[in-house]
Structure 1
Amino acid sequence: MKLQFGTARPGLDYIHRPAVFGIAEREGRLACVRVDRGDGHAYFDLPGGALDGEETEQQALVREFAEETGLIIQPVDRLTEAAQYFLKSDGTPVNNVGGVWLVNVTGADPSAKQEADHELVWLEPLRALFSLRHEAHSWAVARWLRGRHASATAAEPR
């Protein structure tokens, strides 16, 4: 089931943009990117982005993680699907539509990082929940947290 986040502004023609994002955890923190385009309005996103050509979500996610963070990842499980209306940095109205995946970090290749305005940061899950730019990303983190809590609770002795 796809959930739609954001509000389409009247009079704008939103481009359908297939996209994918990932949740990677390390030592209780989530991989996020701090994006600073030099306009004084830095923001946090989950790593990921648009699919190129005939890429699968998994292929795009591996590429996007490398380009934005220098991390090598393996997609594990598709957590959810969501859509987000927003305006890109250049003002283009888009509706990102696609999956949010759980991923494992398997290594790092700093030479693969291509996006100089993206900085890898590891945020506490609650900070990520409240700091991510897109509501769809925050919702995915909340869903991940609930699933993680449910798994931990089920494993507790009664």
Structure 2
Amino acid sequence: MRLRFGRQEPGVDYRVRPCAFGVIEREGRIACVRVTRQAGPYYDLPGGAIDEGETEDQALAREFVEETGLTIAAGRRFAEADQLFRKSDGEPVENRCAFFTGAVAAENPAAKIEDDHALVWLTPLEAISGLRHEAHAWAVAVWLRLREA
């Protein structure tokens, strides 16, 4: 049984959306994105939906470039969990999240295409307390425990 985060609203159907997210460390901080939307800003781990025909690794690499301008090499898949939530357009989705480690291979800020996303480097504790999704915060805590084991 997979862990599931978020509160299921009675009578609401959630579209299942396979996703890949990464925990990439640099100098004791992890890459996050600060997303600025009309309802206010929030933090997410870089990553997102897996497009048809993509592998988890390919989706993770594509999403990192689109959101941060970082080219990454996916590492190991270390956790999985589901996150129920409503997207900014109101659509209810159940993200089937796969979480990966990885490393930065190159930086090209001009390659970033999502204007409402900004790369920020947070300490793991800042990320745990500030990430929008409980599944993301949980994954960072798992990553910390595995890193120190």
TM-score bracket, normalised by the shorter chain, equals over 0.9
Instruction: After superposing the two structures, state which structure 1 stretch, 19-28 or 5-14, moved more.
Output: 5-14
Report the counterpart of residue 103 of structure 2 in structure 1.
104
Q: How much is the aligned-residue C-alpha RMSD, in angstroms?
A: 1.0
Report the counterpart of residue 124 of structure 2 in structure 1.
125
List gaps (5 residues or longer) in structure 2: none
Moved over 4 A (4+): none
Amino acid at match of 1:30: I
1:5 partnered with 2:5: yes
Amino acid at match of 1:69: T
1:90 partnered with 2:86: no
CA shift at 1:38, angstroms?
Answer: 3.1
* Cα distance in 1, alignment partners of residues 87 and 140 from structure 2: 22
* Cα distance in 1, alignment partners of residues 76 and 148 from structure 2: 17
Any residues of structure 2 matched to 1:22-41 within 5 Å, and which?
A: 22-39=22-39, 41=40
Q: Is the 8 A contact 2:127 2:137 kept in 1?
A: yes
Which TM-score applies when normalising by structure 1? 0.91
Q: Percent identity?
A: 58
Question: How many residues of Structure 1 are paired with residues of Structure 2 in the alignment?
Answer: 149
Amino acid at match of 1:19: C
Which TM-score applies when normalising by structure 2? 0.97
CA shift at 1:7, angstroms?
Answer: 1.4
* Cα distance in 1, alignment partners of residues 3 and 33 from structure 2: 23
* Cα distance in 2, alignment partners of residues 64 and 105 from structure 1: 13
Bigger Rg, which one: 1
Report the counterpart of residue 80 of structure 1 in structure 2.
79
* Cα distance in 1, alignment partners of residues 29 and 72 from structure 2: 16
List gaps (5 residues or longer) in structure 1: 151-158
Amino acid at match of 2:108: D
Report the counterpart of residue 142 of structure 2 in structure 1.
143
* Cα distance in 2, alignment partners of residues 29 and 130 from structure 1: 14
CA shift at 1:34, angstroms?
Answer: 0.3
* Cα distance in 1, alignment partners of residues 105 and 9 from structure 2: 40
Amino acid at match of 1:58: D
* Cα distance in 2, alignment partners of residues 27 and 19 from structure 1: 26
Find the residue that maps to 1:36 and give its secondary structure. strand
Amino acid at match of 1:2: R
Amino acid at match of 2:124: P
CA shift at 1:98, angstroms?
Answer: 2.8
CA shift at 1:3, angstroms?
Answer: 1.4
Amino acid at match of 2:14: Y
